[in-house]
Amino acid sequence: MGKPDATHDPALTSWVESANDPAGDFPIQNLPFGRFREPRSSAPWRIGVAIGDQVLALADTGLLESIDMAHLLAAPESARRELRAALSDGLRHGSAQQSSWQKALLPRVAVELGLPCEIRGYTDFYSGIHHATTVGRLFRPDTPLLPNYKWVPIAYHGRSSSILASGRSFPRPRGQIKGPGSTSPAVSATERLDYELELGIIVGPGNPLGDPVPLDEAEAHVFGLTLLNDWSARDIQAWEYQPLGPFLAKNFATTLSPWIVTLEALAPFRESFVRPDDDPAPLPYLDSAANRAAGVVAIELEVWLETERMRERGDPPVRLSQSNYRDAYWTLAQLIAHHTVNGCNLESGDLLGTGTLSGPEPRQGGSLLELSMGGRQPISLPDGESRAFVADGDTIILTAFCQREGFRRIGFGECRATVAAATVPH
């Protein structure tokens, strides 16, 4: 678990002037990685670094021998730190690299951003205890949390083929639905489409099959974090999920933001990991002094809604909720340690979802299922519209940032997608 260094100095400024905007997501203290290419082309994806409103083409800086993102993800933690230091040095005011690196800059609005890496495998956890409690209470008022929740990081395996880059729309899914009072299910488009506010954990170096990752080594296997929207069809989910869990209700679309904010960039925003006194202590493989001291990363998370009517009128999106990653029940190191305790081999480019990250207050729900109390209490929007679940034409936008006194604010950019009408079956 790294500590702040010279690359986090809040006084550090860049010769890329847009990076010095105090409200911007991508100052020189951030330097997240992603992939880009020319718009509407089939050219290979290139590695880019976000700096202000520009993208730095990493291959044109001479800092990497390989331009393959998989090679970068697999690099050891020490190599990542060296690369971050070199990027910081080359982009700071007065750098000797300014004249040559200026040719490697492209305006972010002029490029196509894709998935930040090729996703190998996808696992979605359930580490947001406030989400688990609220949703559980809708179905089990007396026992909202199942007996294993505070002992084991619960997860399921999802599909990587339907993980979509931010900005890409998708059609409303169809599936088997059994409505209240119906004697049999029918196939139709979901009427209870929902979003889930999550963070994505991008795996860096993998581990050999049969070789569990110890907790204190877990973060060396994490390259960084992204925003993740795990779209969910709640009516399909309610009918299919027992006994094996999510299937068609989850695998139709998962939206991922284009930038990976590295763990090194997040070093100033660490906090201690503390469990309530009356909760069970984590089992030994999920507990360590280092994890207790600084296992939490404080990240402010927000969900915004832009309806079709808002777009037509030119109205800005409306914020639906706000929460913080500090309220998750399990740390990211614990998720890695648990995922591998049985010998599972993680690979570079694997994606782990944190699960829905809701806050302790009702208004901090990370899904509409929570905010509308299962659809029974639709939320009112400023223009007179209301939503119990996501409507066709709605755009959901996830944002996130970190800020702390004595350090520069850094952000994650946007994770956005628009829901199209269901496709007509053949």
Is 105 in the same domain as 174? no
Please give the C-alpha separations between residue 362 and each of 231, 293, 369, 401, in angstroms, as whole numbers.
20, 29, 11, 21
The encoded tokens of residue 247 equal: 């299937």
Is 137 in the same domain as 99? no
Is 101 in the same domain as 32? yes
CB 146 within 8 A of CB 137: no
Convert the pLDDT of each residue in 274-296 to its tens digit: 999 999 999 999 999 999 999 99
Q: Residue 273 is part of a domain; what is its CATH number?
A: 3.90.850.10
Q: How many Å apart are CA 411 and CA 393, to the nearest integer?
A: 27
- Model pTM score: 0.97
Last-in-domain residue among 60, 86, 113: 113
Q: What is the mean pLDDT of the chain?
A: 96
Examine residue 425 and state whether it is found in any structural domain, yes or no.
no
Looking at the DSSP bridge assignments, the partners of residue 92 are 14
Q: What is the DSSP letter of 383?
A: T
Indicate whether 67 pLDDT > 90: no
Last-in-domain residue among 74, 95, 113: 113
CB 233 within 8 A of CB 173: yes
Q: How many Å apart are CA 389 and CA 129, to the nearest integer?
A: 22
Examine residue 301 and state whether it is found in any structural domain, yes or no.
yes
DSSP helix, strand, coil percent of the chain (3-state; round to 5):
25, 25, 50
Last-in-domain residue among 113, 144, 179: 113
Is 259 in the same domain as 336? yes
Is 109 in the same domain as 159? no
User: What beta strand segments (E) does 221-359 contain?
Assistant: 222-230, 232-233, 254-256, 261-262, 270-271, 296-297, 300-306, 318-324, 351-353
Is 252 in the same domain as 398? yes
Examine residue 334 and state whether it is found in any structural domain, yes or no.
yes
Examine residue 153 and state whether it is found in any structural domain, yes or no.
yes
CB 129 within 8 A of CB 258: no
CB 178 within 8 A of CB 425: no
Convert the pLDDT of each residue in 198-245 to its tens digit: 999 999 999 999 999 999 999 999 999 999 999 999 999 999 998 888
Q: Residue 52 is part of a domain; what is its CATH number?
A: 2.30.30.230
Is 89 in the same domain as 195? no
Q: Up-side HSE of residue 51: CA atoms within 13 Å toward CB?
A: 25
For residue 228, the model assigns a pLDDT of: 98
Is 369 in the same domain as 309? yes
Please give the C-alpha separations between residue 127 and each of 9, 203, 267, 299, 343, in angstroms, as whole numbers.
32, 17, 21, 15, 21
Is 206 in the same domain as 256? yes
CB 97 within 8 A of CB 18: no
Q: How many domains does the chain divide into?
A: 2
Percentage with pLDDT > 70 across the chain: 100
* Domain span including residue 100: 6-113
Convert the pLDDT of each residue in 306-364 to its tens digit: 999 999 999 999 999 999 999 999 999 999 999 999 999 999 999 999 999 999 999 99
Is 83 in the same domain as 169? no
Examine residue 84 and state whether it is found in any structural domain, yes or no.
yes
Maximal CA-CA distance, the chain:
73
Examine residue 1 and state whether it is found in any structural domain, yes or no.
no
Examine residue 269 and state whether it is found in any structural domain, yes or no.
yes
For residue 179, the model assigns a pLDDT of: 87
Mean per-residue pLDDT, 366-390: 97
Is 36 in the same domain as 126? no
Examine residue 303 and state whether it is found in any structural domain, yes or no.
yes
Is 144 in the same domain as 49? no
Sign of the CA dihedral with 400 first, then 25, 227, and 291 last: negative
Sign of the CA dihedral with 46 first, then 47, 49, and 50 last: positive
Residues annotated as part of the active site: 131
Q: How many Å apart are CA 395 and CA 343, to the nearest integer?
A: 40
For residue 2, the model assigns a pLDDT of: 80
CA Rg value for the chain: 21
